[in-house]
A = this chain, B = another copy of it.
Amino acid sequence: MMYPTRDETALWVALNLTQRKIYAAIDAALKTAGLPPLRWYDVLWELERAKDCGARAFELEAKLLFQQSNLSRLLQRMISGGLVEEFVFENDRRGKVIRITEKGSAVRKEMWEVYGPLIHKYMSKVPDPHELTNATAALTKIV
């Protein structure tokens, strides 16, 4: 129960402004390109890495920090868009296994063509590699 120092607050403020600003810019660029919102990318990428094994909804939820009901409905939208498929998980029939489709992979790649360069555009404003990894290390400590 102690209040933050000026520098602690400054980091928190910078963290918010930076994230918010870049996130909005990327999301807008995706929209302009006629592609799905940025949050879809996280799911597609996670599923791509999971390959044929797929992933469970609750895993995505934890790893990508989704709220359960939001993820549930996002997956419904992705399924109706044909980007993702779901199957009953036979070892536990409450659960579903989620897998990316061919179309989902293709869309992810298209998204990356917009997303990747923008990540680079912003992150390369920290040109010194050490500064970059130090910043990452600091943020990682926090969580």
CB of B123 within 8 A of CB of A17, answer no
Residue A53 interfacial (CB < 8 Å)? no
A129 → chain B closest CB, angstroms: 6
Assembly stoichiometry (copies): 2
| Shortest beta-carbon distance from A48 to chain B in Å | 15
A7 touching B142 in the complex, CB below 8 Å, given contacts A119-B12, A135-B135 = no
Compute how far the CA of A126 lies from the CA of B10 in the bound complex, rounded to whole angstroms.
13
Interface residue? A50 (CB, 8 A): no
**Chain B residues with CB under 8 A of A1:** 117
Q: Are B21 and A120 in contact (CB under 8 A)?
A: no
CB distance from A64 to the nearest CB of B (A): 9
Interface residues of A (CB under 8 A from B): 1-5, 7-12, 14-24, 65, 116-117, 119-120, 122-126, 129, 131-143
With A7-B129, A11-B133, A19-B19 known, 12 other A-B pairs at CB within 8 A are A4-B120, A8-B120, A10-B136, A11-B132, A15-B18, A17-B65, A19-B20, A20-B65, A22-B143, A123-B142, A132-B138, A135-B139
